[in-house]
Amino acid sequence: MASSLSLPQTTISDILSRLPVKSLTRFKSVSKDWAYLTSTPAFVSDHLRRSSSDPSLIVRCYNTQSGFDSVILLITDPTENFACRHLAVPLDEPLPLFPKIVGSIGGLVCLDVSPCYASDFVLWNPGTKQFKHLPFPLIASTRSNPIWLVFVGFGFDSFNNDYKLVRIVSFKRNDGLPFVRAEVYSWKEGVWKELEDTVCFDSAIICGGQDGVVVVDGSLNWVAIGLQRYADRKVVISFDMRREVFKTIPLPALTRIGNVKVMSYMGLLAIAVYPLVFAANGNNMNRFEFSVLSDCEDGRKHWTNVVLAENFSKSLVPMGTWRDRELMIKQMGDRDNHPKLFLYDPIDERTKRLPIDCVDLYLQCYSHVESLVSVDGGN
């Protein structure tokens, strides 16, 4: 009887690429041929392409901004056969604070494990359980020139097949205005380098929390507020991961009076605008708007409204998108009701509540896929 190894290599590869990482890890000890096959860049890419169509949710829950009492959850199949399990971060030494998630893409999760200034990072593949401490960044705080603010983002440069970590560091000048330096870590090269192009930070400074960045079509994007004569405006600062340059994208006027979260939707840059401080019977903004930046017939890009909710009794806070299509929204609670986390699909207007029992805590939510991508990059 013919063995399975007599099958064409392409057939074996096609079958194996459909299996979960856990099974593939087991098979590596069964066959040296399979171990070699599943380690090749072509197979890793093919497996990632298949798994990307069925993403999970990775959620960090924490009680305080300091990161104490935290947990990381992996939620598989959120809309159908909901399953949730805790993920143990496999670090080889205790940390003063629980890791913060910088981003999740291609099966790799980037963690900030530093106590402050986002200065110590780990790459982690929860599927293969690999992890790697990255070299320390080049830009550091000194007594004579202390760091004021740091913002980070983690994404994939498909042109160069490289995962990149960007770190934007603000210092205060003597006149009180910020001075910005930026650097990027290359997974492929295994080194940091400082970026020269930071001119867009002369007129705007990034605002928002540690989850205020999104990857869209090869770029990292943050919301920023204008400086000096542009102080009443908000923009998006976008970093092109291929060309390694920054640019600004104007935002609509409504963003001046509400909170803004930058998001991704159907491969497009999107924003959610929601109340700064919610008071149902007050004069503040009592609406939730979700808009995408799309190409129009005149050849220019315009913000197009996709979702509008008005006059709601409880504040709606956007958390991100799942499958790049369904909005993750946290409905704030009150003294009688706990907050709720749900998914909303703007296309079919379907809502699905997620049965997570810790939504009264702070949350970070990201789409996550299983992969065999190594944390070691090209090294």
pLDDT greater than 80 at residue 267: yes
The amino acid occupying position 98 is F
Q: Which DSSP state fits 135?
A: P
Token duo for residue 192: 């940091």
Instruction: Give the chain's radius of gyration (CA, Å).
Output: 22
CA distance 143 to 208: 26
Q: Which DSSP state fits 97?
A: S
pLDDT at site 104: 96
Token duo for residue 68: 């104490």
Q: For 179-221, what is each residue's pLDDT tens digit?
A: 899 999 999 999 999 999 888 888 898 987 667 899 999 999 9
Mean pLDDT across the chain, nearest whole number? 85
Delimit the domains of the chain by residue range. 40-368
What is the DSSP annotation of 307-345? EEEES-SS-EEEEEEETTTEEEEEEP--SSS--EEEEEE
CA distance 292 to 268: 6
Give the residue, 151 or 287, on which the prediction is more confident. Answer: 151
Q: Which DSSP state fits 94?
A: -
Mean pLDDT of 64-81: 73
Confidence of residue 42 (pLDDT cuts 50, 70, 90): very high
pLDDT greater than 80 at residue 278: no
pLDDT at site 222: 96
What's the CATH fold of domain 40-368?
Neuraminidase (2.120.10)
pLDDT at site 202: 86
